[in-house]
Every structure is written in structure tokens, then in C-alpha cells.
């Protein structure tokens, strides 16, 4: 199976089960928040999409994306146990309306504080399935920008919690914000799981429209609005146009064990999940 990670490297200026929603009191109103799941995230020129909002025992706020979004190798470098990464502490910029000609409007800043790729190398991980599909990183939102955050997924609402990787034929929902698209009108995506992969560490999906470079890192939810995955790769075989997705439940459990972030957990959306077509 040939796989390609889906981050975009831009040289700016050149080319260029249901649960109750989270309490809204801490968060910006969903319709006015600048930093939400689906926000564009730029790391050393590479553009990806945020998946979900997380917090910890002392109330710090994080946005997740794919670990390869901070990678230093080629698009074909998908083995997190072998591939290079920018170090923890690297600055990340949150943006809206970024395109191939422009970096968009900056809406906040954060710092890379956890990477599954860096952690796997530090631990000496050798399990091939973990190395191939564990592709999650966390960016801590600067304190000055936390007031701009809402954890609800645009269009769909949710997430309502976390669940294991969906089974073949299960419906999934996502929201990607690639700078390759001239508009975010096609950012909402829905489709089906085609198979589980990598001993449960991942699964493949076929969505309309498929994820493209820049959508990488975006989150997937199941038919109950539960967070189930992180978009990782474009799969060229056996199904052209499908995408490889990491199982968020396993990726988050790995981060909870190894990140050093006490009390790390997903934040549920303040908006109820709706699987209705946009």
C-alpha cells in the first residue's frame, strides 16, 4: 500500500455514543470563535488542518493536528519511527482563508508540545503498525488566544466524545481546510469507512470530496458525533482517492501515557452533533 502524507509546504510570497455538549461558559461563542476544529495551522510554512480541542488538568488548551505536519522529510516519509520532525517548542500559527498565494489571516498562535513521531523515536518504538499510523501532535494555544477558542466542529457540531475506529461501512464526518481550495464551501465531508488497518491503529475512508494536501490533521467523527480519527495520508492503492486515518482513541491513549501532559482529554463541542448534509 503506497501512502503519502497530506501536509502542504508553502513558500509564502512565491506560491504562495451521544453525550451532552460541553458547557459553553469558558469558550468563545461557536459562531464567533476564530480557533476551532478545522482551523488552518502553519508550521514552518507547512499548512495542515486542526482536528479537535483538548485540555489538561490545569486548564491549558490544545489543538490537535497530524504529527507529520511538523515533519522535516518528504511527503512519502510516513513512518513516524524513522521520519524527522521539527522540535517541541516550534511555533505554530493559526489562520483562516489561507490559499496557495497567501498565508491567510492570522487568528492566533501556539507551540508544538507533543508529537507522536518524536515520542516514538524517543521510546525506541519498533512496532510497524504503531509507527505507520500513530500520527498525532498537540499545539498548546497561547494564553492570550484561549478566549478565541471553541471546541465545536464547523457545520457538523460535536464532538460528543471519543470512540474506537469505525468498522467497514460505517458513516464518517470530517471538515478539512486545505489552502489548495479557493473556498471552504467543500470543507465539510462525509463518507464511509472502507477497512480498518494497522492492527486497529488506523482505518481507510472514502469521502466526498476526498482529503487533499492541507486537509491533513483534520478530525473524523462517527454517526454519533464521536471523535474517531485524524486524517494522515492519501492512499494510492488499492482505492485511488481514499484516505488513511489514524485511530484517535489509540493515538490519544498513547499521548496520555507518554506526553507528560497530566489530565489530557478531548473537549466536547458546545454545539450538538448533526449528521444532516450541509
Tell me, yes or no, if the two domains 3-22+37-151+251-266 and 171-247 fold the same way.
Answer: yes
Confidence of residue 4 (pLDDT cuts 50, 70, 90): low
Domain spans, the chain: 3-22+37-151+251-266, 171-247
Q: Confidence band (pLDDT; 50, 70, 90) for 261?
A: very high
123 vs 19, higher pLDDT: 123
Mean pLDDT, rounded, of the chain: 90
Higher-pLDDT residue of 210 and 110 is: 110
Helices within 124-267 (DSSP H only): 128-133, 248-258
Indicate the pLDDT class of residue 25, thresholds 50, 70 and 90: confident
**What is the CATH code of the structural domain delimited by 3-22+37-151+251-266?**
2.40.10.10
Instruction: Report helix angle 248-258 to 116-123, nearest 10.
Output: 60
Nearest CA-CA partner of 267 in 20, 27, 18, 22: 22
Instruction: Indicate the CATH number for domain 171-247.
Output: 2.40.10.10
pLDDT of residue 181: 81
User: pLDDT value at position 202?
Assistant: 97
Considering only the C-alpha atoms of the chain, give the largest distance between any 2 of them, rounded to a whole number of Å.
46
Which pLDDT belongs to residue 84? 96
Hey, what's the cell of 147?
A: 478566549
The predicted model gives 237-256 an average pLDDT of 91
3-state secondary structure of 140: strand
Residue 236 has pLDDT above 80, yes or no: no
Q: Which residues contact 110 (CB under 8 A, 6 or more apart)?
A: 62, 63, 91, 92, 93, 94, 139, 140, 141, 142, 145
Amino acid at each position: 500500500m503506497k501512502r503519502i502524507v497530506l501536509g502542504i509546504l508553502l513558500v509564502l510570497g512565491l506560491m504562495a455514543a451521544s453525550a451532552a455538549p460541553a458547557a459553553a461558559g469558558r469558550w468563545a461563542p461557536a459562531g464567533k470563535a476564530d480557533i476551532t476544529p478545522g482551523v488552518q495551522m502553519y508550521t514552518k510554512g507547512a499548512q495542515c488542518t486542526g482536528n479537535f480541542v483538548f485540555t489538561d488538568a490545569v486548564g491549558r488548551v490544545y489543538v490537535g493536528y497530524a504529527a507529520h505536519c511538523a515533519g522535516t522529510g518528504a511527503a512519502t516519509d510516513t513512518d513516524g519511527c524513522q521520519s524527522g520532525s521539527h522540535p517541541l517548542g516550534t511555533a505554530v500559527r493559526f489562520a483562516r482563508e489561507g490559499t496557495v498565494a497567501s498565508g491567510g489571516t492570522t487568528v492566533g498562535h501556539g507551540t508544538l508540545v507533543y508529537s507522536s513521531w518524536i515520542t516514538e523515536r524517543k521510546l525506541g518504538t519498533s512496532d510497524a503498525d504503531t509507527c505507520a499510523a500513530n500520527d498525532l501532535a498537540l499545539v498548546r494555544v497561547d494564553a492570550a488566544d484561549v478566549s478565541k477558542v471553541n471546541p465545536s466542529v464547523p457545520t457538523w457540531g460535536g464532538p460528543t466524545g471519543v470512540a474506537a475506529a469505525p468498522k467497514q461501512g460505517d458513516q464518517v464526518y470530517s471538515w478539512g481546510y486545505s489552502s489548495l481550495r479557493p473556498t471552504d464551501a467543500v470543507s465539510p465531508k462525509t463518507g464511509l469507512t472502507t477497512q480498518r488497518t494497522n492492527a486497529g491503529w488506523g482505518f481507510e475512508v472514502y469521502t466526498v470530496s476526498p482529503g487533499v494536501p492541507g486537509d491533513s490533521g483534520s478530525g473524523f467523527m462517527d454517526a454519533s458525533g464521536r471523535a474517531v480519527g485524524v486524517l494522515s495520508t492519501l492512499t494510492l492503492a488499492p482505492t485511488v482517492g481514499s484516505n488513511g486515518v489514524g485511530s484517535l482513541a489509540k493515538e490519544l491513549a498513547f499521548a496520555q501515557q507518554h506526553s507528560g501532559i497530566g489530565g489530557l482529554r478531548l473537549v466536547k463541542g458546545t454545539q450538538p452533533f448533526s449528521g444532516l448534509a450541509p
